Structure formats: structure tokens, C-alpha cells
Amino acid sequence: MPRRTALVCATLLAAAALPAPHGSRPAQSQPPANSLTLFAWERGMGFQSPLRQDMRMYLRFYEWNMFEARQPGQHTRGNDRLPRSVSADHTQAEAGTDDLLLTVRAGAESADLILAITNRTDYEWPALAAIIPCFNPGPADSRNRELANTNTYFWGPPGLERLEKREIHFAQAHEAELRRISPNGQFVFSGKWPTAPSGALGGIMIRESSDGKWVTGVAWEDFLSAQAHNPWECMHLAVRVGPLKPGARKIIRGKVYLFQGKKEDCFQRYRADFPRASSALRDGGRGEM
């Protein structure tokens, strides 16, 4: 079995036994009628609603490294020109290489994300190591204007909170480690992403359309921070990939949502899809406005 095919199959088996991507998977049942359509674009993967061809979101995979992930440094450029492919029926896709592979499977008004990452450096990545895929309404020539706005929310201590300006909200679970690095909350990226005074409780970012009829979101089971409203009106939910020893591999599960509804509907789906995250509700995060 070729190394790439073996890696894909092992990744999917380890992550809830999802089918392997196109080209190495057995036949599967017909996707639901309200399944998102997957498509490739020059910097990653896209997601289209079955109800409207212009209702699309894009995942730029991937834009940034954080805190020594893949390269030394607090904040370094990622690689958004990785190989990518989409199955003929537009229900499965993959992007990346053997040491960084994103596998996507379309579902009902959503898509499952599986990230498999291997540390190929000669040093151990710290607990704060993360990468940032950029979830956005599209490049200028195909931008989804209804979702190109600042109606963005993250899960804060009071519940769903509006994300203001370009502040970065770090996961509360890692605040002590961040203070050890910088007691005053200043990092090399703070000029563009100032540290917010409030932290985030869970790995979910949600945006409502300008007319309030549609909602989209991106979620990861392990995250470092939530930040948004950069030039592409994007959402940056940093996927925590550390700690990771040289040669070791980690698998992280995520989700994309795109459907007619409200932010509260998306948050409820996230809680159902990531039940372990819901335990944070018992620790003060109510998950309501």
C-alpha cells in the first residue's frame, strides 16, 4: 500500500472510522439531500449550500503557524498552496502532504474535518503550538457578500460573545502557559492581533449573515485562540497541535457549518457534535446570549 494511502486510511480509522478519501475508499451510501458540496480552490477547500449556489464559505489551508509549530518562532507563515483533491461526487476531499493532511467529508448542512499532523522537526513542539486555517467568505472575485461582515461570535465566559475588531481571545485553559511566556500579554503578533482581556471556553466561531437568515461556523475539538476580521473578513480558529515530540503524530477533529438559521442553532449543533466541550458549561460558560 502506498505511504499516502496508508496514512489516509490510518487517519480515518483513528478518527471515528470515517471513510478514506476518493481514490482509496469503498463505495458509500448516498449523501443526504441537504449535504454541502465540496470544491477545491487555489488556496484550499470550499463549501457550498445545496439551497443556493452563491452561499459558499472557504477554508484557506493553511495560513499561519503559532508558537513553534512546524517552524521556530511565535508566528510564522504557513503554506496555502498544498496539493488538494475532491472526489467526483464532491462529497469528500483532502489537502496537504504526508506530514500535514486535512481530510473533509460533507454531511447534512456541515462537513467533518480530520487533521492529521506529524512533527517532522528535530525539536518537541510546546503545548501552545498551533496552526491557523483561515475560514472566510472567499476571495474578492467570488466573495460571499452576505457573510463578509463582522457578525462574529466566540464562546466566552458569559456564553456567545460578539468578537470585536481584531482582538485575539486565547483559550482559558492555556492562559497560565501564555502568562509564563509573556506576563503582559504582548507577543510578536500583538500589533495586528491585540490580546483580548477575556478568554474563550470552546473551539467554536460563528457568523450570522447580514440579513440574519444564514449562519456559518467552524469548530475544532482542541484549539488555542479565536480571532477574526482580517482583510478577507475571515475567522481564525487556531488548531492546537502541541505538545508533540519529533516523529509523533496527532489527529484533531473539526467541523464546518453552513445553513439557514441563527447563531444559537449553530452553537447547539456544535455542542451535540463535540459533547466533551459541553462540559465547560458546568464551569461557568452558559452558551447563551
Query: Could you confirm whether domain 3-25+33-283 is CATH 2.70.98?
Result: yes
Question: What are φ and ψ of residue 230, in 5° steps?
Answer: -85, -175
Take residue 148 and report the three cell numbers written for it: 463578509
Instruction: Identify whether the C-beta of residue 155 lies closer than 8 Å to the C-beta of residue 267.
Output: yes
Q: How far apart are CA 177 and CA 213, in angstroms?
A: 40
- 48's enclosing H/E stretch is strand 44-48
* pTM (2 d.p.): 0.89
Residue with cell 447563531: 263
Q: How far apart are CA 199 and CA 184, in angstroms?
A: 15
Per-residue pLDDT of the chain (289 residues; tens, 9 = 90+): 455 554 545 454 444 444 333 333 333 567 788 999 999 999 999 999 999 999 999 999 999 999 999 999 999 999 999 999 999 999 999 999 999 999 999 999 999 999 999 999 999 999 999 999 999 999 999 999 999 999 999 999 999 999 989 999 999 999 999 999 999 999 999 999 999 999 999 999 999 999 999 999 999 999 999 999 999 999 999 999 999 999 999 999 999 999 999 999 999 999 999 998 766 544 444 443 3
Cis peptide preceding 153, ω within 30 of 0: no
- For the chain, give every domain's residue range: 3-25+33-283
Instruction: Identify whether the C-beta of residue 112 lies closer than 8 Å to the C-beta of residue 104.
Output: yes
Give Cβ neighbours of residue 98 (< 8 Å, ≥ 6 apart). Answer: 3, 4, 7, 118
